[in-house]
Structure formats: structure tokens, C-alpha cells
Amino acid sequence: QVQLVESGGGSVQAGGSLRLSCVASGRTFSRYAMGWFRQAPGKEREFVAAINWGVGTTKYADSVKGRFTISRGNAKNTVYLQMDSLKPDDTAVYYCGATGPRVGVPLSVLEYGDWGQGTQVTVSS
């Protein structure tokens, strides 16, 4: 099992930037995926971006392509989500999730068994 802690959320105006961090601890693996998902009130949790830890391949939701960047930290236990050109529709609680050992980069919420507590991102117009 992997323990995940998100940070970096906040309130910004449209067009601004935030960088979210997710620190993993516990029994981690060299071949697994970590992803960012978001959930607005009354809505389903949706995929944002993910990275395969072993090979570094990434995937992004169409809604954030060109604006968000997922990356691994130097310590290899941290994943970042750089969010630029933020829009009001990006407002949500952002969660970091992790899978077990696998190939590829899953997009489904159901593929992620470990979750952080989330960090709030609010974008005003």
C-alpha cells in the first residue's frame, strides 16, 4: 500500500498558475502509475493526468492538454502537476492516486487503489 499526501492547492484568478505536489510513502514500487484526478461538487471524479513511474510515459485529459504538465520529482517519490492558464472550470478538489505495478498509464478511476485526501483548487473569473 502507498500513502499519498497532496499539497499546493489554493485560490487563483483565471489565467494564473498553481503547482500541486503529491508525496508518496510506504511500500512503493518501481513500476506503477500515479495520476491526478479532480472532483467538483456534485460531479464524478475525473481523470486529469497520469504518469507511469517506471518509464515516464504520460497521459492527459483533453481538457488540460497544453496547460497542465505532470512530472516526477528528484526523489522519485513525488509527482507534480504544473497547472498553467487556469480556468474557472478547473475548480475542483484535486486528488493524487496510485496504482500497483503495471505497464502503461491507466485513465480510469477504478485502476487506482490508493488516494490522497485531496487539495482544493479554486479559479475565479
Tell me the three cell numbers of residue 6: 497532496
Return mean pLDDT, the chain. Answer: 92
By C-alpha distance, which of 73, 97, 80, 92 is closest to 3?
Answer: 97
Separation of alpha carbons 1 and 98, rounded Å: 9
pLDDT in tens, 21-73: 999 888 766 668 999 999 999 999 999 999 988 788 999 999 999 999 999 88
pLDDT tens for each residue of 44-56: 999 999 998 878 8
